[in-house]
A and B are shown apart, each in its own frame.
Chain A
Amino acid sequence: MATEILMPALSPTMEEGTLAKWLVKEGDSIESGQIIAEIETDKATMEFEAVDEGVVAKLLVAEGTEGVKVNTPIAVLADEGESPEDAASAARAPEADKADAGAEAAPKPQAEGATEAPAPARSESASDQAPVAAVATDWPDDTPTRSLTVREALREAMAEEMRRDDTVCLMGEEVGEYEGAYKISQGLLDEFGARRVVDTPITEMGFTGIAVGAAWGGLRPVVEFMTFNFSMQAMDQIVNSAAKTLYMSGGQVPCPIVFRGPNGAAARVAAQHSQCYAAWYSHVPGLKVVMPYTAADAKGLLKSAIRDQNPVVFLENEILYGRSFDVPEIDDYTVPIGKARLARKGDDVTIVSFGIGMTYAMEAADRLADDGIEAEVIDLRTIRPMDTDAILASVLKTNRLVTVEEGFPQNSVGNHITAVVMERAFDYLDAPVINLCGKDVPMPYAANLEKLALVTTDEVVEAVRKVTYR
């Protein structure tokens, strides 16, 4: 009986990868634990070990093939006593009728063909392109753009600011030699050296305090939290030291610092690694809180955050790191903090979201449009100071509001938006506001439960139907 070797998932969020190199060839005997291939994820090149023993009957995916989906068969092993030929054909048979993009690309020897092939198949296909581009107002229509991942955009923002200003430095766990746990700081140590790209021990409270002191002392530190969940260890320094000192000093001691890193749920990392801090930090006067969705905003807002004289909490998302968006080819492109983005125009309902919540908001808006409901989608981008005028202007037009976020429901960002709209536009509301949030439970690990805990596109669609009575 032949054994198929499948494309492995090598990180919680990996959906596909590049089969960079085979370290075995057809006919080789392999042992369990032997390294048989090198696989590139969106973050790193990983060695892939065999689990089973046998003879390599067939390599199904040529080296250099990009966009190979997780769980696609990439090779076939012949078991003891089985002829490699039999094994190869046995494994092929069921494969033929699947014809899924990854498997399709696989047997072709040329890497070129496969480069074109990577099936986007993910949510951005419809939602991020047409409607967003049509209403994007941050750059003139004729500006050339290029496609960048959010990861690349963040890296460019830091590199550009570090080139521009010698006092900008990056600190955190694994930011230097390891090049970032999520590869956001790839290449920065090489370019800027260990003086400016500082690897710290695992000591959040300590290095956050040191970074805040360094900001008072004339630097512009960017502190990377490996995830924002770990920032709770450092919250006293962020809230009591960074946010309040300007006020407590009667304006004498500003604190130009950025706290950044992935925030919110990734995939299957359970309760302690899945929390959203948008509502938490946006409670605090003296902090600015930014949570971009697109790569253009990630880049433009991070550059603005680094230049800001105030402490900025910059909330990223691991699932978004690998997503591509158009970024304008504008020198020194910045996006102002505190300005929302009109992501989609519509007259029937306003959906306000930010960060990864925008994925569901935009998908829902597309589905609703098929049924003749035109949603206006506002990407908040900055949680504090909040662009409440943009929300109000839209609600005055649509008279209905749904908010979408992944954080917990009590005292959510949506709750605050609702209060503002109640106070300032009560008479314009034709339906109660609905706040969609993550569920009011610690994040479960099981795949099905995790899905249930997160906000979904279906929920957004349903909420919009409720407030529009359709």
Chain B
Amino acid sequence: MAARKAAEKPNVSGEDLQRYYREMLLVRRFEEKAGQLYGMGLIGGFCHLYIGQEAVVVGLAAAARDDDKQITSYRDHGHMLVAGMDPKGVMAELTGRKDGYSRGKGGSMHMFSHEKHFYGGHGIVGAQVPLGAGLAFADRYLGNDRVTFTYFGDGAANQGQVYETYNMARLWNLPVVFVIENNQYAMGTSTKRSTRSPSLWERGAAYGIKGEMVDGMDVLAVKAAGEKAVAACRAGDGPYILEMMTYRYRGHSMSDPAKYRSREEVQKMREERDPIDRVRELLVTGNHASDDDLKAIDKEIKAIVSEAADFARESPEPDAAELWTDVYA
């Protein structure tokens, strides 16, 4: 609850707030555009949008260092944008084009950037959890103090390999922050229908791992919790679990009619808990930004996104020869 208070009386500069606002808005507008392009048939396959969950990646990025690593599942566009990957390259990957981050061979679910320390983009629920611990294993082995953020959802939290990983991560004190993005639905199965555990983060206690539940709709609460987790990991007392209570507004993927929850539930969330609205309010009430300032930011973000979309439509498809490259190093 300390984190909640911080949000009420934010000890944060206007500049930082503006940055969080900008980043969250970028993710949201980007995802809306991706949804649109999907509807136009320009994006194929599976496409999992991050709308509603923006405060999680933005708040944690604010707690992280530039050289920290990240890995997540297939709901990954937001993570990539906030890691600093170019929206044009991300969107061009979504359209399966030559200029995409994976040269069109990965798609929505599989993108990587060595430069930005982003390690995917993984399609098998839960598989990224040991992989993320492995990235942290390498850092501990090499003797640096980098931290790996390993994201997974409430659905993945029931995979056995998560607990195999908890066990070893604590055994070896790996510098990894396990971020459970609990958006309350594993595809169509609510957490109530998949477990009797009152919370997911507490399962770490069985392995001696500290953690906490965080209001994942509040970017400042996320940041505060992230800082605590990062400090523990850098001090050699990793890992740390953060269960982010969040919500996705859209379906599981573009083809999900979301019949498993009511329209009212979603609407209520949007109206009362929206992470972007919350920061906008802080900016205005704290006199950190005028309406005109906010309008200018909106316009700027819109321009970035529409430029990315244009780029992604114009970029050519990969050469046929690309089929055979990158199978072996």
Contacts and interface: CB of A to CB of B under 8 A. Distances in A.
A246 B164 contact: no
A310 B112 contact: no
Interface string B132-143: 111111110110
B137 A217 contact: yes
B311 interface: no
B149 to A, nearest CB: 13
A253 B134 CA distance: 14
Interface in A157-186: 167, 169
Nearest to A195: B141
Interface string B96-114: 0000111111100011111
A205 to B, nearest CB: 5
Contact of A217 (B110, B127, B138): B138
A216 B167 contact: no
A249 B329 contact: no
A237 interface: yes
B106 A214 contact: no
A250 interface: yes
B326 A247 contact: yes
Contacts of A285: 327
Nearest to B161: A205
A16 B224 CA distance: 65
Nearest to A208: B130
A286 interface: yes
A80 B317 CA distance: 90
A144 interface: no
B329 A205 contact: no
A176 to B, nearest CB: 13
B168 A245 contact: no
A212 B124 contact: no
Q: Point out which of A218, A251, A309 has the most chain B C-beta atoms below 10 A from its C-beta.
A: A251
Interface stretch (B115-123, B197-205, B214-222): B115-123
Nearest to A210: B134
B114 A210 contact: no
B123 to A, nearest CB: 7
Contacts of B124: 236, 240-241
Contact of B134 (A203, A209, A249, A252): A209
A43 to B, nearest CB: 27
A62 B137 CA distance: 50
Interface string A184-206: 00000000000100001101011
A248 B141 contact: no
B179 to A, nearest CB: 16
Contacts of B134: 209-217
A210 B127 CA distance: 10
B327 A246 contact: yes
B41 interface: no
B325 interface: yes
A207 B168 contact: yes
A317 to B, nearest CB: 26
Contact of A247 (B105, B120, B137): B105
Interface residues of B, number: 46
B127 A209 contact: yes
A217 B135 contact: yes
Contact of B167 (A206, A218, A252, A254): A206
Given A213-B134, A216-B135, A203 B167 contact: yes
A200 B133 CA distance: 14
Q: Sort chain A's interface into a size bin.
A: 35 or more
B106 A250 contact: yes
Contacts of A169: 141
B127 A310 contact: no
A237 B138 contact: no
A215 B130 CA distance: 12
B327 A245 contact: no
A217 B139 contact: yes
A286 B328 contact: yes
A219 interface: yes
A241 B131 contact: yes
A207 B130 CA distance: 7
A208 B122 CA distance: 16
B165 interface: yes
Contact of A237 (B127, B139, B141, B326): B127
Contact of B130 (A213, A218, A250, A309): A213
A51 B227 CA distance: 64
Contacts of A213: 71, 119, 130-138
A210 B130 contact: yes
Contacts of B164: 201, 203, 205-207
Nearest to A204: B164
Contacts of A217: 69, 134-139, 142
Q: Point out which of B102, B112, B124, B328 has the most chain A C-beta atoms below 10 A from its C-beta.
A: B328
B244 interface: no
Interface in B2-44: none
A251 B103 contact: yes
Given A213-B136, A217-B142, A251-B326, 16 more contacts: A201-B168, A205-B130, A207-B130, A209-B129, A211-B134, A212-B130, A216-B119, A216-B135, A217-B136, A217-B137, A236-B127, A237-B131, A240-B124, A250-B101, A250-B106, A253-B119
11 contacts: A203-B164, A209-B165, A213-B136, A217-B134, A217-B138, A218-B142, A241-B124, A246-B326, A248-B102, A249-B111, A285-B327
Interface of A: 167, 169, 195, 200-201, 203, 205-219, 236-237, 240-241, 245-254, 256, 285-286, 288, 309-310
When A and B form their complex, which 3 residue pairs have the shortest distance between CB atoms, in order from nearest? A213-B134, A209-B130, A206-B164
